């Protein structure tokens, strides 16, 4: 069997390996790329509405985790543009909105055809 989307499958595999490396060498933060990588591998392998909805829900859960971590790190952040774009709060909000977009797209007419 071949994956439905080879690029998504390879990208998910690379993110998954990065997540495993992050878990082995670092703290618990490696769970973020691990979860996104697993859902991307599944999306690339299966394709379709169900896989896209699973990907969207996974990204929303990861985004909520990152928002919570970002709120805990707010007292240690400097109000610079670099810190705004590199801290988990920004990427958590970005992930939540991206997950909502993926979930809406899984019910779009273009996916139902």
pLDDT attached to residue 15:
94
pLDDT per residue over 16-53, tens digit each?
999 999 899 877 888 999 999 999 999 999 988 899 99
8 Å CB contact between 33 and 13: no
Residue among 56, 65, 1, 3 at smallest CA distance from 31: 65
What would the two tokens of residue 103 be?
A: 């979930």
Q: How far apart are CA 91 and CA 44, in angstroms?
A: 23
Looking from the CA of 14 toward its CB, the CA atoms found within 13 Å total 6
Q: How far apart are CA 94 and CA 88, in angstroms?
A: 10
What would the two tokens of residue 27 be?
A: 């703290």
């Amino acid at each position: 069997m071949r994956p439905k989307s080879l690029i998504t499958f390879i990208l998910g595999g690379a993110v998954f390996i990065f997540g495993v490396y992050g878990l082995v060498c670092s703290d618990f933060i490696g769970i973020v790329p691990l979860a996104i990588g697993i859902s991307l591998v599944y999306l690339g392998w299966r394709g379709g509405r169900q896989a896209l909805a699973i990907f969207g829900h996974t990204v929303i859960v990861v985004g909520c985790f990152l928002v919570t971590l970002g709120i805990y790190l707010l007292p240690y952040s400097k109000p610079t543009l670099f810190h705004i774009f590199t801290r988990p709060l920004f990427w958590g909000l970005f992930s939540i909105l991206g997950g909502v977009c993926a979930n809406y797209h899984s019910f779009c007419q273009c996916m139902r055809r």
